[in-house]
Amino acid sequence: MSAIFPKWTNKLPLMVIVGGLLTVIAVTAGVWYYFTPKYFRVGYQPIQPVSFSHATHAGQLGIDCRYCHSMVEKSWFSNIPASSTCMNCHNQVLKDDPRLALVRESAASGKPIPWVQIHRVPDFVYFNHAVHVNRGISCVECHGRIDQMEEVYHSKPLSMSFCLDCHNNPAAKVRPADKITDLGWTPSPDPAIAAQTQAQYGKKFVHDFRVESLNNCSACHR
């Protein structure tokens, strides 16, 4: 009488277990690694209608962020500058450059340049720029080193846990009020001393700026 099950079936339970485990691990790892704003949002670098370089303007020329984003300290929304702001300088600088044709046209006609928005939190999140920059949170914390980007890309995940990391411990991020737009600023060039200084002054700034860093849902979701 021949065997009903061939010999290899002895290994079948082991194969099922190993195969199942591998699949579960791969799927879990894939979801953990990919299903997050750290993957989906970070690195988003759309083609803008005008090839404006933040590295040139904010980095090399050292123009303050607020020269163009002038409402950031007063409004929840950090404005995209009007084309007339560009023309403050570009009515003389590169005034016939073809790369700036759209800017000149927009300033003359009043028709806005269709910039592509990169950083955008969900519509049920009410992020307030003014509250943050007036209380010692630098642009760099959420936007990265814009002053080194030829073309701006999304550099931080801006996920809910990203917000909460800072809201749970604002003292690690707050900096002197006059260093908000100084994106390369650190308390000290030496990382060890920088961490020590941050720990020392962070608490003081949190107290002085009256940082509340609310953690209840309605702080952001209204």
Partner 1 sequence: MRYFILIFAVLVLVVVGVAGRRGDLTRNRPIQIFPDMKRQLKLRPQTANGFFANGLSSQLPQPGTISQEKSMLVGGKEVYSFEDAPVNTGRVTGATNYIELNAFPVTEQLLTRGHRQFNIYCAPCHGQTGEGNGITKKIGAMAVVANLHDQRIVKLADGEIFNTASNGKGVMQGYAAQISKEDRWAIVAYLRALQLSHLGVADDLAPETRAKLNIK
Taking the chain, what is the end-to-end CA distance rounded to the nearest angstrom? Answer: 75
Our CB check for partner 1 shows the closer of 2 and 218 to be: 218
Query: Least distance (Å) from partner 1 to the CB of residue 1?
Result: 28
How many angstroms separate the CA atoms of 137 and 205, rounded?
10
Helix (H) or strand (E) holding 85: helix 83-90
Our CB check for partner 1 shows the closer of 171 and 183 to be: 183
Closest CA to 80 of 54, 108, 109: 54
Query: Least distance (Å) from partner 1 to the CB of residue 42?
Result: 5
C-alpha separations of 104 from 10, 50, 67, 80, 83 in Å: 78, 11, 19, 16, 8
Our CB check for partner 1 shows the closer of 99 and 203 to be: 99
CB 79 within 8 A of CB 71: yes
Which residues of this protein are in contact with partner 1, per CB under 8 A? 11, 15, 18-19, 22-23, 26, 30, 33-47, 61-64, 66-67, 70, 74, 77, 79-80, 82, 84-85, 87-89, 91-94, 112, 114, 117, 122-124, 153-154, 178
* Residues whose CB falls within 8 Å of the CB of residue 77, separated by 6 or more in sequence, listed in order: 71, 129
Our CB check for partner 1 shows the closer of 38 and 104 to be: 38
Query: Least distance (Å) from partner 1 to the CB of residue 133?
Result: 13
Q: Where are the alpha helices (DSSP H) in 93-190?
A: 101-109, 129-133, 140-143, 160-168
Our CB check for partner 1 shows the closer of 150 and 212 to be: 150
Query: Least distance (Å) from partner 1 to the CB of residue 147?
Result: 14
- Residue 182: Cβ within 10 Å count: 17
Query: Least distance (Å) from partner 1 to the CB of residue 172?
Result: 22
Query: Least distance (Å) from partner 1 to the CB of residue 193?
Result: 28
Our CB check for partner 1 shows the closer of 24 and 194 to be: 24
CB 104 within 8 A of CB 87: yes
